Amino acid sequence: MCKASKPCVMAATVVGLLVIILVIALPIALQDDYSTYESLAGRPVPPQVAALLKSSPLIDGHNDLPHNLRLLTHNQLSAVDFRRNLRTDAVWNCSSCFTDIPRLRAGFVGAQFWVAYVDCKAQFEDAVEKTLEQIDVIKRFIKQYSKDLQFVKTANGIEESFRKGQIASLLCVEGGHSIDSRLAVLRLYYELGVRYMTLTHSCSTPWATASPEDKEVLTVKGLTDFGKVVVQEMNRLGMMVDLSHVSHQTMLDALNVTKAPVIFSHSSAWAICNHHRNVHDDVLKLVAQNGGVVMVNFYTEFVQCNKTEPATIDTVVDHINHIRRVAGVDHVGIGADYDGVDDMPLGLEDVASYPFIFERLMNPKPGEPTWNNTDLQKLAGRNLLRVLHKVEMVRDEMAKKGVKPYENLIPPSDLGNNTNCRSDG
């Protein structure tokens, strides 16, 4: 121990000053200075929007960056540095490349569902293997950029990550063809962290019809008996049932079977744009009864059916407001579909643009509903958090009741001629 000599007193004074400086400066250093990203958003983010999105997480339901990683780099993460603004990057400068970490920060993204998607061509062949590769690259991506991203699997995990200033990162699988009609594969995806599965992509599976309906694969519209078991097993696991991409009848069947709220991870309103991928009002009303959420897609093709006019932020706001009017403010969210499409509305060009949706909603036009801060927090992510909490509660209730894993096998007749890659037994 040092005695109270002059040098020791001076040293202690210096140390004390350093501690005071650190106490003051460290919290400031740990805070994200979002103002440094404002230029990436194209224009300043209004203070009231920044305050809103700093207080409550913005959760996007669907980003296809992993698919672009497969297409552009063959899943080689070393090919691109996502800590940089990649708008003009030689590798990442593609028509459907809208995402990097600086722009996620500029967009105030609090949580992101990263999509493990493989093309429908892989159905009945190597869909499972390719899906596992996509899950692997997502996990490696999150780990590589762990300063900004945190892998989470629960609703509480999203909120904890948000409090720490990181972007909560969750796994999802887009397309039921990725389980190869095997419940065991579905269970293993859950073990790997997958927290929702879209029942179909643009192709039907042997147990669920897609939108538009694919008559070459499935003769029964909607969910087969095995398809209904898939939904029940997802309930038992605590995996959200995603009804984007499925046919109208599959939506109705799933809503009739599920014990937990459903989601539409990236869908818009059919009444505003009558594209087959959008959600009809009858289903919106059932989603409200179910307690689910429709997360609005920004893709121009889905939100603007009048091709003589360009899609804008106003176009997307029309979809958000319509879903609010029909289903209620508790049942609408955001699932933009960045990196999965190649044409976004004016003003929503990339993931830096989310704040301007909220700015627009804060300034309603005549006849539009008024959004208060609580409403806007629900849209941003609170509705999705509520759904995920409820899905977890249903899982726990089923476990308490002793519901065991479903062991159903798909009837061979449901597979038709698509058995070349299956062995007997």
Q: Each residue of 187-236: pLDDT tens digit?
A: 999 999 999 999 999 999 999 999 985 454 445 689 999 999 999 999 99
Question: Domain for residue 25, yes or no?
Answer: no
Mean pLDDT in residue range 87-95: 93
Confidence of residue 36 (pLDDT cuts 50, 70, 90): low
Question: Domain for residue 104, yes or no?
Answer: yes
Question: Domain for residue 39, yes or no?
Answer: no
Q: Would you state the pLDDT for residue 4?
A: 38
Question: Domain for residue 153, yes or no?
Answer: yes
Question: Domain for residue 267, yes or no?
Answer: yes
Catalytic residues: 62, 64, 174, 201, 245, 266, 337
Mean pLDDT in residue range 369-380: 98
The percentage of residues in the chain with a pLDDT greater than 70, rounded to a whole number, is: 88
| SS3 letters across 109-172 | EEEEEEEEECCHHHCCCCHHHHHHHHHHHHHHHHHHCCCCEEECCCHHHHHHHHHCCCEEEEEE
139 has pLDDT over 80: yes
Question: Domain for residue 298, yes or no?
Answer: yes
Kindly state the helix (H) or strand (E) to which residue 109 belongs, with its residue range: strand 109-117
Antiparallel, parallel or unpaired: β 240-242 and 262-264: parallel
Question: Domain for residue 271, yes or no?
Answer: yes
Question: Domain for residue 4, yes or no?
Answer: no
377 has pLDDT over 70: yes
371: containing domain: 46-415
- CA 150 vs CA 52, 157, 161, 363: distances in Å: 22, 9, 7, 34
56 has pLDDT over 70: yes
- CA 52 vs CA 32, 55, 122: distances in Å: 15, 5, 42
CATH of the domain at 227: 3.20.20.140
- Region of poorest pLDDT, from 15-29, 116-130, 374-388, 406-420: 15-29
Count of structural domains, the chain: 1
